[in-house]
Amino acid sequence: MLIVMKPQASEEDVRRVCQKIEAMGYRAHSMPGAQRTAIGITGNKGALEPAEFETLPGVAEAIRVSKPYKLVSREVKAEDSLVRVGTGENQVTFGGEELAIIAGPCAVESREQAFAAAERVRKAGARLFRGGAFKPRTSPYSFQGLGEEGLEILAEVRRKFGLLIVTETIDPENCDLVEQYADVLQVGARNMQNFSLLKRVGRSAKPVLLKRGMSATLEEFLMAAEYILSEGNYNVILCERGVRTFADHTRNTLDLSVIPAVKRLSHLPIIVDPSHGTGRRDKVIPLSRAAVAVGADGLIVEVHPQPDQALSDGHQSLHPEEFESLMEQISAIAGVLGRTLGRPATPGDRSNPVVPAASE
Ligand code: PEP
Ligand code: MN
């Protein structure tokens, strides 16, 4: 059920409706919009009676939400959601006019490797840095990540290069540690239906990057996001990263048609991962161009200073100069669509106090 308030409803009217919902034992999710506030109700097992709410002051109407997902649905919130990461001049917004670009290695391997990658991706215009400290690997014998040492290195990257940090959390207990370091908590494809992890990140104050499971339908993907919003965290960024098909010319099949499909059904921003989405370096730039053209709100791209030496996913990681070329190319496409790549201030620029000089 969704309670739509009148445009002139007061804060007190909204509070009264929320109190009534909570008193009935359900959860109220107040969603202020440009025109009016809507209040989503979750936790009810059966259908609710609209008249119970329509008689309250300030209520325009109470409507049943037809989709199985509620809070992520455009029925509940018509306008696009903006997910803001970081603060001040360093803030990056997902879902607005600007494209948000996340780049960096698959895994943090050493301070030298992370710094070399960070320097190059930042110079090319990325505002956010990716790198796993905890890696969910198919084989237990593969490199599992540096753990907390990797998180410390990521914190140094943030300080030294002014980049915001996107890193993966692999289970609810691990989240206690990762959220102390991350600006964005990544939930990986293999964990898209790890419901206890979804509930845990739903209680976090940090934005969440939710990757689509490799065999997840659109409805399952949106239901996974619904888990996070239903716990009170509305800052969710969706990510298409390819699904399993019979195709053997790529590691996964990057389902770019899901972008307009998500945009129609949900107000949440969605970005594309062309690295895991193709698994082949030579396909990353073409699919990045396509992702921007189809309406993605950003990209997450693997870049390694020496891909041939990488401890994971080297074959799909771009060389830094290839990433520079990618940025040039998507910048041109973004312009055609009326979007921009928000370039960061140069490190050391004294007009921007949050970006320290590279030598500091
Ligand atoms: C990753 O981003 O390095 C990763 C493991 O991605 P995914 O969960 O999409 O496989
Ligand atoms: Mn990877």
Residues whose Cβ atom is located within 5 A of ion ligand 2: 106, 313
Give SS3 for 325: helix
Give SS3 for 44: coil
Contact between 21 and 59 (Cβ < 8 Å)? no
Q: CA 205 → CA 72, 80, 146, 208, 350, distances in Å?
A: 18, 20, 24, 9, 30
Determine the pLDDT at residue 354: 37
Gap between the Cα atoms of 120 and 34, Å rounded: 39
Distance in Å, CA 103 to ligand 2 centroid: 11
Determine the pLDDT at residue 320: 98
Residue carrying the six token digits 């055609």: 336
Contact between 268 and 76 (Cβ < 8 Å)? no
Gap between the Cα atoms of 103 and 306, Å rounded: 15
Determine the pLDDT at residue 348: 42
Residue to substitute in 186, 221, 300, 302 for testing ligand 1 pocket (most ligand atoms within 8 angstroms of CB): 186
Gap between the Cα atoms of 154 and 177, Å rounded: 13
Determine the pLDDT at residue 344: 59
Distance in Å, CA 276 to ligand 1 centroid: 7
Tokens of 23: 């008193």
Amino acid at 212: R
pLDDT along the chain (360 residues), means of 10: 94 97 96 90 91 95 90 94 94 97 98 98 98 95 96 98 98 97 98 98 98 98 97 98 96 98 98 98 98 98 98 97 98 97 56 36
Gap between the Cα atoms of 87 and 94, Å rounded: 13
pTM: 0.93
Whether the CB of 188 sits within 6 Å of ligand 1: yes
